[in-house]
């Protein structure tokens, strides 16, 4: 590595174009919505940047509920909901993803690349298509219900009619569907960093723990999980943040109550045409994102200091 001064010509030639793109097509747009978030609508299209905090305050606004005395903080509720569902999704993805990553890790070299490919291939398929595919499965007369019905009827027959008729589970247009869809879509994404972290481990760590008398589960908890922690941490980030800002699953699989923050933002920029408010919401989302990343960096540094990170 050399100092930029040693070779200024090359430095600027390779440095300027990407920097231009970053500034112009990334930082500038973000700055504009940051500015808009402090602005007001003037007429149909224009926005006057007045430095007002109205849009931000609106996030905490308490909207009166039809047919009752009280009011709800609609937008805050949606933020919480997004955080909760993203967290749940991440939790399930890691819970399921870790054994999958383990399986690939322990597979013979002949199988490894194929198994990895099998898990990752859905990730290469279009997000929209995968979400759409779930619609067919989750509907009242979709295959999952059909399968459950078959099982139900079978059990019913065995118990001589004790169970009665099968009522299909209403899965579409529910929060359940949204989370189901999120797990479905993000799972391959979670397996990758988990597997990568495991790959960096030496088989001998586990052998050593088994040699020292730990049972398999114990070896797993006390040796593999701590060592794979950096991988778990990055899997967490890689799943949580996209899940937090996800748009398609609530849009296609959820009902009117299932909106998450991305859907609200979309409405502000399109149908509701309230760009300042949409910008404020986007910035809040960004702040939460940065906070989560900072949190992860903090814990990572702490781990390194305690010498636990390999």
Interacting residues with other proteins between 139 and 198 (CB under 8 A): 141, 143, 184, 187-188
Determine, following the binding rule CB under 8 A, whether residue 10 of this chain makes contact with other proteins. yes
65 versus 150: smaller Cβ distance to other proteins: 150
For residues 138, 143, 147, 148, the Cα torsion angle rounded to the nearest 10 degrees is 20
182 versus 244: smaller Cβ distance to other proteins: 244
Name residue 64's beta-bridge partners.
71
CB of 272 to other proteins, least distance (A): 13
CB of 172 to other proteins, least distance (A): 12
Mask for 58-97, x = binds other proteins (CB under 8 A): --------------------------------------x-
* Residues 36-55, interacting with other proteins (CB under 8 A): 36, 45
Q: How far apart are CA 60 and CA 53, in angstroms?
A: 12
SS3 (DSSP) at 172: coil
* Residues 214-273, interacting with other proteins (CB under 8 A): 216, 241-242, 244-248, 252, 261-262, 265-266, 269
**Of the ranges 50-58, 169-177, 194-202, 275-283, which one interacts with other proteins (CB under 8 A)?**
275-283
CB of 160 to other proteins, least distance (A): 29
106 versus 308: smaller Cβ distance to other proteins: 106
In the DSSP assignment, the letter for residue 71 is E
CB of 111 to other proteins, least distance (A): 7
CB of 197 to other proteins, least distance (A): 16
Which of 25, 36, 91 shows the shortest CA–CA distance to 277? 36
Q: How far apart are CA 137 and CA 74, in angstroms?
A: 31
CB of 298 to other proteins, least distance (A): 15
Tokens describing residue 23: 């500034």
Number of residues that bind other proteins (CB under 8 A): 83
HSE of 271, CA atoms in CB hemisphere, 13 A: 5
Count the Cβ atoms, other than its own, within 10 Å of residue 102: 16
SS3 (DSSP) at 66: coil
CA distances 261 to 175, 239, 252, 273, 286, Å, are 14, 16, 15, 16, 12
Among 76, 88, 210, 310, the residue binding other proteins under the rule CB under 8 A is 210
Asked if 261 and 244 count as a contact pair (C-beta separation under 8 A), the reply is yes
Among 182, 192, 206, 227, the residue binding other proteins under the rule CB under 8 A is 206
139 versus 175: smaller Cβ distance to other proteins: 139
CA distances 163 to 141, 148, 149, 154, Å, are 20, 13, 12, 10
Among 59, 76, 83, 127, the residue binding other proteins under the rule CB under 8 A is 127
CB of 161 to other proteins, least distance (A): 26
Determine, following the binding rule CB under 8 A, whether residue 306 of this chain makes contact with other proteins. no
CB of 98 to other proteins, least distance (A): 10
Q: How far apart are CA 206 and CA 190, in angstroms?
A: 23
CB of 82 to other proteins, least distance (A): 10
**What residues have CB less than 8 Å from 185, skipping those under 6 apart?**
127, 130, 131, 249
229 versus 292: smaller Cβ distance to other proteins: 292
């Amino acid at each position: 590595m050399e100092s930029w001064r040693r070779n200024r010509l090359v430095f600027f030639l390779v440095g300027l174009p990407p920097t231009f793109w970053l500034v112009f097509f990334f930082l500038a747009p973000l700055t504009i919505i940051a500015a808009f978030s402090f602005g007001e609508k003037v007429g149909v299209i224009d926005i006057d940047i007045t430095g007002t905090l109205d849009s931000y305050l609106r996030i905490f606004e308490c909207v009166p509920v039809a047919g009752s005395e009280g009011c709800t903080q609609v937008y805050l509720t949606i933020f919480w909901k997004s955080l909760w569902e993203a967290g749940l999704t991440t939790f399930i993805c890691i819970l399921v993803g870790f054994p999958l990553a383990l399986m690939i890790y322990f597979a013979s070299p002949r199988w490894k690349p194929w198994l990895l490919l099998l898990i990752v291939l859905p990730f290469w398929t279009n997000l929209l298509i995968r979400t759409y595919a779930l619609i067919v499965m989750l509907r009242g007369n979709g295959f999952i219900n059909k399968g459950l019905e078959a099982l139900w009827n079978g059990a019913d027959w065995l118990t001589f009619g004790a169970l009665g008729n099968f009522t299909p589970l209403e899965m579409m247009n529910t929060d359940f569907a949204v989370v189901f869809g999120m797990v479905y879509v993000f799972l391959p994404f979670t397996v990758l960093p988990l597997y990568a972290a495991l790959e960096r481990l030496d088989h001998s760590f586990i052998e050593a723990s088994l040699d020292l008398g730990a049972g398999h589960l114990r070896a797993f908890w006390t040796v593999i999980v701590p060592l794979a922690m950096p991988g778990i941490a990055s899997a967490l980030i890689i799943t949580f943040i996209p899940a937090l800002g996800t748009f398609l699953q609530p849009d296609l699989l959820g009902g009117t109550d299932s909106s998450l923050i991305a859907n609200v933002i979309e409405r502000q920029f399109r149908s509701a045409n309230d760009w300042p408010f949409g910008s404020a919401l986007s910035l809040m989302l960004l702040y939460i994102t940065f906070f989560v990343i900072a949190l992860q960096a903090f814990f990572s540094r702490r781990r390194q200091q305690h010498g636990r990170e390999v």
